[in-house]
Structure 1
Amino acid sequence: MTSHDLAAVLGGARVMVILRDLPVPETVRLANRAWDLGIDVVEVPVRTPEAVDALRATVDAARQRDRIVGAGTVFTAEQVRRAAEAGAAFTVAPGLDLAIADAAADQGLPHLPGVATPSEAQRARDHGLRWLKAFPATSLGPPWFKAMAGPFPELRFVATGGIDAHNAAGFLAAGVRVVAVGSALTDPTQLALLAQLATGRQE
Structure 2
Amino acid sequence: MASVKPARTAPVAPTFDELFAGAPVMAILRGMPVATTVELAVRAWDLGIDCVEVPVQDEAAGQVLAAVVAAGAERGKPVGAGTVTSAGRLERAVAAGAAFTVAPGLDADVARASVAAGLPHLPGVATPSDVQAARALGLTWLKAFPASVLGADWFQAMRGPFPEVPFVATGGIDAGNAAAYLSAGARVVAVGSALEDDDQLPRLAALLAR
TM exceeding 0.5? yes
What's the CA shift for 1:39?
1.1
Q: Which residue of 2 aligns with 1:160?
A: 170
Give yes or no for the alignment of 1:40 onto 2:21: no
Is 1:148 the counterpart of 2:155? The answer is: no
Specify the code of the residue in structure 1 equivalent to 2:185. Answer: G
In the superposition, the TM-score normalised over structure 1's length comes to 0.94
Q: Distance in 1 between matches of 2:167 and 2:189?
A: 9
1: CA distance, partners of 2:169 / 2:119: 20
Normalised to the residue count of structure 2, the TM-score between the two structures is 0.91
Contact 1:81–1:107 under 8 Å retained in 2 = no
1:118 to 128, 134, 152: 128
| 1:56 alignment partner, one of 66, 69, 72 | 66
Secondary structure at 1:29 match in 2: helix
Shift of 1:5: 4.2
Contact 1:9 1:89 in 2 (8 A): no
Which 4+ runs in 1 deviate beyond 6 A?
Answer: none
Asked whether 1:73 is paired with 2:83, we answer yes
Distance 2:54 2:37 in 1: 8
Give 2:56's aligned amino acid: V
Contact 2:143/2:170 (8 A) holds in 1: yes
| Alignment partners' CA distance in 2, 1:106 and 1:130 | 15
* CA-CA distance at 1:111 after TM superposition: 0.2
SS at the partner of 2:63?
helix
**Any unmatched runs of 5+ in structure 1?**
none
Identity, in percent, stands at: 61
SS in 2 for 1:188: coil
1:61-86 CA distance string (max 9 Å, x none): 01111212110001111211221121
Alignment-derived partner of residue 99 in structure 1: 109
* Residues in 1 aligned to 2:46 and 2:135: alpha-carbon distance in whole angstroms: 35
Task: Determine whether 1:196 maps to 2:206.
Answer: yes
Deviation at 1:188, TM superposition (A): 0.7
Residue 178, structure 1, aligned to residue 175, structure 2: no
User: Take 2:105 and 2:53, find their aligned partners in 1: how far apart are those partners?
Assistant: 16
- Displacement of 1:175 after TM fit? 1.4
In 2, are the aligned partners of 1:70 and 1:92 still within 8 Å (CA)?
Answer: yes
User: Which residue is 2:143 aligned to?
Assistant: 133
User: 1:125 deviation in Å?
Assistant: 1.0
RMSD: 1.2
Shift of 1:108: 0.3
Aligned to 2:35: 25
User: Which deviates the most, 39-48 or 10-19?
Assistant: 10-19
SS in 2 for 1:79: helix
Higher relative contact order (CA 8 A, sep 6+): 1
The one-character-per-residue Cα deviations of 1:109-135 (angstroms, maximum 9, x if unpaired) are 000000111111111111111111000
Query: Which secondary structure state, in structure 2, belongs to the residue aligned with residue 85 of structure 1?
Result: helix
Partner of 2:10: none
Q: Distance in 1 between matches of 2:208 and 2:83?
A: 23
